[in-house]
Amino acid sequence: MALAGDTTALRLCLERLLPPRRDTPIALDLPPLHSARDAAQAVGAVVAAVGRGDLTPLEGKAVVDLIDSYRRILEVTELEERVAELEEALRGRPA
C-alpha cells in the first residue's frame, strides 16, 4: 500500500524504520569541566535548574549521569598523568 502512494501506510512504514525521538535537546549553562573537581559545580547547576523548573527531574538525572561519566574520564586521565610523572621521577633516581 505504501508503494502505491497511500500516505498513511507510508508514514507508518517510516515510523517503524525511523522512530520519532522520545527526548528533546535541552539548553543548560554549565560551568566548564576542566578537572574532576569541577563536576560538583556542574551538578549544583543542574540541581538548581531542576529546582527552578527549567529541567524535569528525569532530564536532570540524565545530565548528572553525563557529568558523572565525564568526571570519571577526567579522573582516569589525571591519574594517568600523575603516574607518568611519578614514573619519570623514579627513573632519574639512583637505585
The predicted-structure confidence for 14-67, as pLDDT tens digits, reads as follows: 777 877 777 788 889 999 999 888 999 999 999 999 999 999 999 999 999 999
Cβ partners under 8 Å of residue 54, min gap 6: 28
C-alpha distance from residue 67 to each of 19, 30, 81 (Å): 27, 10, 21
Alpha-carbon gap, residue 49 to 27, rounded angstroms = 11
Cell of 91: 627513573
Banded model confidence at residue 2, pLDDT cuts 50, 70, 90: low
- Which run of H or of E encompasses 90? helix 57-91
Q: What is the pTM of this model?
A: 0.68
Q: Which residue has the higher pLDDT, 22 or 72?
A: 72
